[in-house]
Amino acid sequence: MARIILIVLALGLILAAGGFVFLGAFPPEPKTHPVEKTLPNDQFQAR
C-alpha cells in the first residue's frame, strides 16, 4: 500500500515539474485591453 502512495506522489511530482518546464518554455501571453478614455460628466454638476 505504501508503494502505491509513493508511486502516485512521484508521478505527481514528475507531472508538476513537466508543467513548470512547459510553462517556462512557452509562457502564456498577457491579456491586452484597449485603453478607454473617459470624459468628465458635468451634466449633473451644479452651476
Give the predicted TM-score (pTM) of the model.
0.57
Residue 39 — very low, low, confident or very high, per pLDDT cuts 50/70/90? confident
The string of pLDDT tens digits covering residues 6-36 is 999 999 999 999 999 999 999 999 889 898 8
Q: Residue-wise over 3-31: b if at least 16 C-beta within 10 A, else e?
A: eeeeeeeeeeeeeeeeeeeeeeeeeeeee
Which pLDDT value is given to residue 38?
Answer: 82
CA distances from 24 to 7, 10, 13, 19, 20 (A): 26, 21, 16, 8, 6
